[in-house]
Amino acid sequence: MICAGIDAGSRTIKVVVMDGSTRDVLAAGSADQGVQQDRLAGELLDRLLARCGRSRRDLSRTVATGYARHAVSAADTTITEITCHARGVRHRVPEARTVVEIGGQDSKLLRLSPAGAVHDFSMNDRCAAGTGCFLEVVARRLGVDLAGLGALARRSTAPAAISSMCVVFAETEIIGLLAGGAAPQDIVAGVLAAIASRIAAMAGRKIASPVIFTGGVALVPGMDEALSAALGLPVTVAPDPQMTGALGAALLAADGRD
């Protein structure tokens, strides 16, 4: 039985092809999101199936998740990112009790029961503050790529105070800080701390360990350290964090979940 999980995110499409009987990942990959979301998802799925000598005829079940999940015609059903990320994280880290997921357009904090079920969650999806989109604005203005933000932040000796977390005003504030003599590394350190503080505010009451960090922003070096400081708990980046949603979707496809 061959199953697939498709995470059609706001910035990136991720696909996992899985042996539904053994839960072994046969192929996994990603592609940039675009206007023709269904075509891009289908092409990525076909490439990965071909890589392991399969085609769509071999698929028993496909689950789509993510921002554009309803646009994916190859899927048999759709399941929310919350459920898929929880399933993917628990598969990789069975002892996980809290999941922080930060993607391109939203951020989430999931509380898991000892059995791995989601029993509570908080979500910021009303603006792009504290998401990958926000970090892209910061990186572009400072002339570095996302991977370079962490290296900059580690050189900071006096993190800048970031008063606005709105993407619309982020560039204006950064320009003002630079004009006032703030060092790029201090601006980045301040941004990472501000994002982490926003997640901590979402968490509200005490959260349980282990805390697992997933989503595309988990790939930004230094973001896990900022979260650890804000939450007052160790934060561990999930294995291959950008693929967690697609992995969870593939597992749920294998489970036969709707």
Q: Where are the domains of the chain?
A: 2-86+243-255, 95-237
**Tokens (6 digits) for 29:** 């990959």
Q: What is the mean pLDDT of the chain?
A: 89
Same fold across 2-86+243-255 and 95-237: yes
User: pTM of this prediction?
Assistant: 0.89
Q: How confident is the model at residue 168 (pLDDT cuts 50, 70, 90)?
A: low
Question: If you classify domain 2-86+243-255 with CATH, what class do you get?
Answer: alpha beta
Q: What is the DSSP string of 99-117?
A: EEEE-SS-EEEEEE-TTS-
Question: If you classify domain 95-237 with CATH, what class do you get?
Answer: alpha beta
**Tokens (6 digits) for 193:** 């701390």
The predicted pLDDT at position 201 comes to 85
* Distance, CA of 8 to CA of 92 (rounded, Å): 21
Segment 105-152, tens digit of pLDDT: 788 999 999 988 998 888 875 555 567 777 888 888 888 887 788 888
Tell whether the model's pLDDT for residue 182 goes beyond 70.
yes
Span of 43-47, 147-151, 169-173, 187-191 with lowest mean pLDDT: 169-173
The predicted model gives 184-188 an average pLDDT of 90
The predicted pLDDT at position 165 comes to 61
